[in-house]
Amino acid sequence: MSGKMPKADRRAQLLDVAHRIVRQQGTDALTLGTLADQAGVSKPITYNHFETRSGLLVALYGEIMDRQTRALADAIKDTGQALDQVSRVLAEAYMDCHASIGPEWHAIGAALRGSAEMDGYQRRMIEGHVAFFGRVLSPLTELPDETVHRRCVGIIGAAEALSDAMVRGQTSRDHAVSDLDALIVGWLRR
């Protein structure tokens, strides 16, 4: 068993192990018992942190989404204020983040669609991503905010599909970036 560590550190360790389980064995293999065994802790520790398998999947998804949002925000902070520049940087950062995570992001997302509670959580996380893109892109276009928001819903859907194809080897990173960039610019340029 692993020694006592602060709760936040233990949670981070458990999430790292959970990512590894999903990457190596898929989401079906991820249970709180399996997590406890592979992390070298007792089952009550994993239940204390996540309560249920659904809670663990939500925590994994949220951690990945937070990491991606930070990477996107960091990528654009030193970018100019032209739509072409921001679009390219967003597309590159989006694909790079998904490449670093691997296919487990989409596997966790699929597992989250298994119940109304998890589906609602995933929807809220995606809505947050849409809002982030809208805040970044609205000042760069003459389109009304409502139109930008609707188009960002489509942009995020396309970005998810392109990143899934990329991590599965169905398209290259460069093609995924170029296609997402072209979509953003094409939809937001007046």
pLDDT band with cut points at 50, 70 and 90 for residue 40:
very high
Q: Are 151 and 187 in contact (CB under 8 A)?
A: yes
Taking the complete model, does pTM exceed 0.75, yes or no?
yes
At 91 the pLDDT is: 96
pLDDT in tens, 5-30: 899 999 999 999 999 999 899 889 99
Residue 160: left if φ>0, alpha if ψ -120 to 50, beta else—which one?
A: alpha
Does the pLDDT of residue 104 top 80, yes or no?
Answer: no
User: pLDDT above 90 covers what percent of the chain?
Assistant: 58
Lowest mean pLDDT segment, chosen from 58-62, 121-125, 138-142, 158-162: 121-125
Q: Are 94 and 160 in contact (CB under 8 A)?
A: no
Q: What distance separates the 2 farthest-apart alpha carbons in the chain?
A: 60
Sorted by where each starts, the structural domains of the chain and their CATH numbers stand as 1-51 (1.10.10.60), 61-188 (1.10.357.10)
pLDDT in tens, 122-158: 788 889 999 999 999 999 999 999 999 999 999 999 9
Q: Are 95 and 184 in contact (CB under 8 A)?
A: no
What contacts 39, CB < 8 A, 6 or more positions away?
Answer: 2, 13, 14, 17, 46
Does the pLDDT of residue 3 top 70, yes or no?
Answer: no
Average pLDDT score, the chain: 90
Closest-CA residue to 148 (of 161, 123, 130): 130
* Number of C-beta neighbours around residue 186 at 10 A: 10
